[in-house]
Amino acid sequence: MPRELRYGSVAKWFHWVIVGLLVTQYLVGWLMPDIHRGMLPGTPMMVHISVGVLILALTAARFAWRITHPIAPESSLPAWQRLSSEAIHWLLYLAVFATTLTGWFFASMRGWSIRLFGLIDLPMLTGADSPIARTLGRWHETLEWTLLVLVGLHVAAALVHLFIYRDRVMARMLPSTLMKA
């Protein structure tokens, strides 16, 4: 399968929508009340879970798109930058999948009925009080921080390319309207 040199509009749409949802998700997650034994999820938790499931679905679709529409690494980059870029991208996918799924396991372990944005019932991934789900749920916060670090590395690298190297690496993901400005 031939590899494109630039990200297409679908890949850019996935990228920027997921960025916006991740920002929303972290804000809601940090602002909602702490979870205590026996508590029922309130609106902030239901929004947090719903946005998480939406991020999971869009990331799965984006992953499928990336597999079927591969992008060639920027040819002007040294080998170590191409390799580290690929590694960070795959780690980002892995971290998003792991973070969202452990959150869903956590909610399932608590026995919470989950309705996607109050409209669609979501399945429980495990029974209430499942020891496996409890363990997976404990990983959720660690994975949140891991994802945040990976996103920070990704953004830092993009900014280095934009402001220090002054190459076109970041322009490959910017919306076309910004590239013309």
Structure tokens given for 54: 């939406």
Q: How does strand 114-116 pair with strand 120-122?
A: antiparallel
pLDDT value, residue 124: 94
Q: Is 107 left (phi over 0), alpha (psi -120 to 50) or beta?
A: alpha
- The continuous run of DSSP H or E covering 151 comes out as helix 131-160
pLDDT at 6: 82
Q: Does domain 9-176 have CATH number 1.20.950?
A: yes
Q: Given this model, what pLDDT does residue 181 score?
A: 46
Choose among 60, 36, 59, 32: nearest CA to 45: 32
**Geometric angle at alpha carbon 28, from 25 and 33, rounded to 5°:** 140
Note the pLDDT tens digit of each residue in 64-118: 999 999 988 888 889 999 999 999 999 999 999 999 999 999 999 999 988 999 9
Q: Which one, of 121, 65, 62, 131, lies nearest residue 97 by Cα?
A: 62
pLDDT exceeds 90 at position 122: yes
**pLDDT tens digits, 31-53:** 987 877 777 888 899 999 999 99
Cβ atoms of 60 and 93 within 8 Å: the answer is no
pTM: 0.90
Neighbours of 23 (CB within 10 A): 11
Domain boundaries, the chain: 9-176
Are 136 and 106 contacting, i.e. CB atoms less than 8 angstroms apart? yes
